[in-house]
């Protein structure tokens, strides 16, 4: 009996059809906006389910359910498929096509039911359990904040125990072990996924057996059901094994360099923070300033999560971006946000998709956007051309979300939405999103879509920061939400809830203002978005450069410093644990390096803020609630919409 050595054949034997690495990148998702189920978030309020039948004015929740439980749905479908084939002793489609069958390596006979059951478990359920287990391990080993409070029905430790000098319940050695596991787990996971898979593949090419780890564990191999001709005999596969070993050696060297560089960066930042008398956690604050002050001259895209954690990235090249996405995946996140206007981000993402292991690439969900400039960019022809070009650059068949980046007033909404619906029905994207549209525009879009039977929007992206802006919301084309900017969001949230739309907020650190590094008296520093040399300084100065705002931020920064928490970290934690955002909404934060992304994800992993800081954010909001500054306003009369 001859064993099938071909990876394409053996791979086909137990592989269900998957969406091509068109599986989107976006977030959470993410303006920039990395969607994923994040187990560390405190139990949120239960989702609202409407038990009545959907109608034209009441969108179906099935797409939201499918999006939220996509991983579980895929696992269930795989389990059903292999239960009806492998478990029953039948051939899969791939096995039937290749004319091969499974045998036990020890008995050289057809595998027993127990062995086949073990194969299905290791092939389908084990990867899912490993992913969920690693997320839970990170949650359990996460360092607890000094102060915690009751929220969402979850009881937290009373901070008075610490104040009274009570000994910690956990021994010091266990705390150190938990911290070590928490710090190193993402790196170990990335190492095993990338380099472990390569090593296993090299062994397969050398020995011609066990292409998948599940078969190696269960001792199941393949044989052909026919006699092979001389030309079909296995030959030359050892060369592929040698090439993979060389590639693996290069990857290990690169991984080692990245690990050392990240450690050196962290140590240098910690030393800088120590010299400033701030504390180790000021590293997050420092990096946040660097990201917010950096000009948008590099590839920019977002890493979005479905549970209020989203990261935007400004890096160059696949070699810088790939480690970020691998780290992002290790935290259980999967949504990536990009846009045609973000320089070469789509081309970089296409290269990352090719380099990632197939299972990781299939998890990623990409979103992209069509920009409204120059005027006329939202005509039917240009909208179709924009997404078609994006798909070609990304080298995918479809994306998860397609956004209208902002309103193009030179084109009627009916024409734009007709093009969008045509793309949707052609299978070019799964969900529609809109960004920076006014309340009135949202209503108009829904009216048009319902009357004409077009796809309706599920996502909304809007700016979020810590400054209150009381604007004419019927004509404002951008609204914001952050610790002290709530009125606009709550009014918009009413219409988003009406249509069951998900909200993702970007610019939560207010162009760097909420890092605490700016002062009104000191003026705008060179290299920041507020300096006259910045391409967008007029916009940012008009929106954020206000004496009352900067005074409020200064007071807030002192309050967070008293608790030993950097202002940027406190802002992210407020957004996640104390805002009105739900578990279906998302936050976009900034990252300009691998170490900074790690710190941002860690900040979002941490628990609620102490009550004193929650009150400090309330006071800061009230101190600027009187301001009325227009960010963007519809320039064309609404009758032309």
- Is the pLDDT at 329 greater than 90? The verdict is no
503's enclosing H/E stretch is: strand 502-506
Cβ-contact 20, 350 below 8 angstroms: no
Give the integer Cα–Cα distance in Å for 530 and 288: 16
Domains of the chain: 282-633 (3.20.20.100)
Q: HSE of 169 in the Cβ direction (CA atoms, 13 Å)?
A: 4
- State residue 590's pLDDT score: 61
Give the integer Cα–Cα distance in Å for 287 and 293: 10
> Which candidate, 372, 83, 322, 19, places its Cα nearest to that of 193?
322
Cβ neighbours of residue 463 under 8 Å, at least 6 residues apart? 31, 436, 478, 479, 480, 505, 506, 507, 631
Q: Three-state DSSP class for 410?
A: coil
**Number of CB atoms found within 10 A of residue 395's CB:** 16
- pLDDT tens across 333-369, in order? 788 888 877 667 888 889 899 988 888 888 888 989 9
Token representation of residue 514? 């909420």
- State residue 531's pLDDT score: 44
Percent of the chain scoring above 90 in pLDDT = 17
Give the integer Cα–Cα distance in Å for 617 and 505: 18
- Residue numbers annotated as active site: 342
Q: Model confidence at 51, in pLDDT bands (50, 70, 90)?
A: very low
CA distances for 55 relative to 146, 264, 430, 474, angstroms = 49, 58, 20, 26
Q: How, if at all, do strands 399-404 and 365-370 pair? A: parallel
- pLDDT tens across 591-631, in order? 777 877 887 888 888 888 998 898 888 888 887 776 655 44
Give the integer Cα–Cα distance in Å for 122 and 126: 5
Token representation of residue 192? 């095993």
Give the integer Cα–Cα distance in Å for 578 and 45: 12
- Is the pLDDT at 636 greater than 80? The verdict is no
CA distances for 312 relative to 288, 296, 302, 429, angstroms = 11, 11, 4, 21
pTM tops 0.75:
no
Q: Three-state DSSP class for 539?
A: helix
Indicate the average pLDDT of the chain: 70
Alpha-carbon torsion angle 231, 236, 238, 244, nearest 10: -120
- Is the pLDDT at 47 greater than 50? The verdict is no
Q: Three-state DSSP class for 323?
A: helix
- Least confident span in 227-236, 316-325, 628-637: 628-637
Cβ neighbours of residue 401 under 8 Å, at least 6 residues apart? 24, 26, 337, 365, 366, 367, 368, 429, 430, 431, 432, 433, 458, 459
Give the integer Cα–Cα distance in Å for 391 and 345: 12
Range with the largest mean pLDDT of 113-127, 475-489, 518-532: 113-127
Cβ-contact 620, 466 below 8 angstroms: yes
């Amino acid at each position: 009996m001859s064993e099938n050595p071909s990876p394409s054949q053996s791979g086909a034997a137990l592989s269900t059809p998957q969406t091509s690495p068109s599986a989107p990148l976006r977030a959470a998702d993410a303006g920039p906006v990395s969607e994923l189920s994040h187990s560390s978030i405190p139990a949120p309020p239960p989702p609202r389910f409407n038990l009545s039948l959907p109608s034209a004015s009441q969108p179906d929740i099935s797409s939201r359910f499918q999006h939220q439980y996509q991983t579980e749905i895929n696992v269930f479908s795989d389990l059903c498929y292999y239960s009806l084939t492998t478990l029953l002793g039948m051939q899969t489609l791939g096995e039937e096509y290749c004319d091969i069958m499974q045998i036990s390596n020890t008995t050289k006979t057809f595998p027993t039911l127990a062995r086949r059951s073990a194969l299905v478990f290791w092939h389908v359920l084990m990867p899912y359990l490993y992913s969920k287990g690693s997320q839970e391990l990170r949650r359990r080993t996460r360092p607890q904040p000094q102060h915690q409070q009751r929220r969402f029905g979850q009881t937290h430790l009373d901070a008075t125990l610490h104040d009274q000098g009570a000994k910690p319940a956990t021994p010091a050695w266990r705390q150190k072990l938990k911290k070590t596991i928490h710090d190193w787990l993402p790196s170990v996971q990335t190492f095993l996924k990338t380099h472990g898979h390569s090593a296993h593949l090299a062994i397969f090419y050398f020995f011609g057996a066990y292409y998948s780890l599940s078969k190696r564990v269960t001792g199941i191999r393949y044989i052909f059901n026919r006699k092979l001709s001389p030309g079909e005999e296995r030959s030359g596969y050892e060369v592929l094994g040698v090439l993979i070993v060389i590639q693996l050696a290069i990857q290990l060297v690169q991984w080692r360099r990245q690990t050392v560089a990240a450690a050196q960066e962290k140590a240098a930042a910690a030393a800088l923070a120590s010299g400033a008398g701030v504390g180790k956690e000021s590293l997050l604050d420092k990096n946040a300033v660097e990201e917010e002050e950096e000009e948008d001259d590099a590839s920019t895209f977002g890493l979005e999560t479905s549970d209020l954690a989203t990261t935007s990235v400004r890096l160059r090249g696949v070699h810088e971006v790939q480690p970020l996405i691998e780290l992002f995946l290790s935290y259980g996140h999967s949504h990536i946000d990009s846009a045609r206007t973000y320089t070469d981000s789509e081309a970089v993402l296409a290269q990352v998709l090719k380099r990632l292991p197939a299972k990781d690439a299939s998890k990623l969900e990409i979103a992209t956007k069509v920009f409204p400039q120059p005027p006329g960019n939202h005509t039917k022809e240009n909208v179709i051309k924009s997404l078609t070009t994006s798909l070609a650059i990304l080298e995918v068949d479809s994306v998860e979300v397609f956004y209208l980046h902002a309103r193009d007033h030179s084109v009627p909404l009916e024409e734009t939405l007709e093009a969008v619906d045509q793309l949707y029905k052609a299978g070019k994207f799964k969900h529609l999103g809109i960004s920076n549209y006014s309340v009135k525009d949202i209503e108009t879009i829904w009216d048009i879509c319902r009357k004409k039977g077009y796809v309706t929007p599920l996502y909304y992206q809007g700016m979020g920061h810590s400054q209150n802006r009381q604007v004419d919301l019927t004509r404002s084309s951008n609204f914001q939400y952050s610790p002290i900017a709530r009125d606009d969001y709550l009014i918009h949230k009413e219409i988003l809830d009406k249509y069951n739309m998900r909200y993702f907020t970007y610019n939560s650190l207010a162009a760097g203002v909420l890092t605490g590094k700016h002062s009104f008296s000191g003026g705008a520093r060179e290299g920041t978005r507020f300096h006259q040399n910045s391409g967008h300084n007029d916009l940012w100065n008009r929106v954020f450069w206000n004496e009352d705002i900067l005074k409020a931020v200064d007071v807030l920064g002192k309050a967070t410093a008293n608790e030993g928490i950097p202002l940027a970290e406190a802002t992210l934690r407020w957004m996640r644990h104390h805002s009105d955002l739900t578990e279906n909404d998302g936050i976009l934060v900034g990252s300009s390096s691998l170490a900074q992304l790690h710190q941002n994800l860690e900040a979002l992993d941490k628990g609620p803020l102490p009550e004193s800081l929650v009150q400090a954010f309330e006071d800061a909001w009230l101190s600027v609630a009187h301001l009325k500054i227009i960010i963007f306003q519809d320039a064309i009369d609404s009758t032309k919409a």
